[in-house]
Chains A and B, each alone.
Chain A
């Protein structure tokens, strides 16, 4: 009797799956991934497909920001905004090897979200500026746009690597969650 009771009890105490990312969050994520890959690796700079892909991604980020106020629980900034105290607590927990579990973004992940979104928006802005009469052909602006793009791709790589590493450490299927919306712990 007592041998049976333990696993049952632990299974009920330890929640194993929860729907976390709503449809818009997932659509947003993969849309931006596609736009970034296209613009950085495939589409010719200075031509209209590159420009409109960039504006499309920036528009999605703008919509995501709105969704951060009206969307589902874990989509909201209030759920994950990386306040200094949240970040500090998270880092301390990581240092003591007792990683906190967050169903939504953890505070460091949230910092990365904000950075990635800021980079997409600033790329949209510096890209648009290059087409204006005032800034057309300006080297400093072209270089700035390039550095921002490099920073975005490097950050996105770090973000993906962190998702793989943290998923293993926390025994949570993070990547699958961004496809199905459901975070599963294993």
Chain B
């Protein structure tokens, strides 16, 4: 019984630890994908992959300053968000 409780607690913590950032912006306010990509590229990213993550943030895999980075952005403002 104790073990079950401990594992349940661990799983709960896991849910928190692994959570990606979420952005609560209604879809109609999202900037178009094309202009978002353009904005991000102007910030110095070479985009490899663009996604919308589970938390409804824009997500970019790409290179910045020679490094592979995975960053999330507010889909309305394009500001970077962290987890």
**Do chains A and B interact in one complex?**
yes
Residues of A within 8 A of B (CB): 37, 40-46, 131, 133, 136-138
Given known contacts A131-B68, A137-B70, A42 and B17 CB-to-CB distance under 8 angstroms: yes
- Tell me which of B17, B62, B63, B83 contacts A41 (CB under 8 A): B17
Residues of B within 8 A of A (CB): 10-11, 13-14, 17-18, 48-49, 61-63, 68, 70, 83
Bound: A9/B15 CA distance, A? 57
Residue of A nearest to B49 (CB): A137
Given known contacts A136-B61, A137-B70, A44 and B48 CB-to-CB distance under 8 angstroms: no
Residue among A37, A40, A131, A136 having the largest count of chain B Cβ atoms under 10 Å: A136
Bound: A136/B18 CA distance, A? 19
* Interchain CB contact under 8 A, A133 and B68: yes
* Interchain CB contact under 8 A, B13 and A44: no
- Tell me which of A37, A45, A133 contacts B18 (CB under 8 A): A45
The minimal Cβ–Cβ distance linking A184 to chain B, given in whole angstroms, is: 22
Given known contacts A136-B48, A137-B48, A137-B61, A44 and B68 CB-to-CB distance under 8 angstroms: no
* Interchain CB contact under 8 A, B70 and A41: no
Bound: A47/B35 CA distance, A? 29
Given known contacts A136-B48, A137-B48, A42 and B70 CB-to-CB distance under 8 angstroms: no
A contact residues around B48 at 8 Å (CB): 136-137
Residue among A41, A44, A131, A138 having the largest count of chain B Cβ atoms under 10 Å: A41
The minimal Cβ–Cβ distance linking A57 to chain B, given in whole angstroms, is: 17
* Interchain CB contact under 8 A, A42 and B13: yes
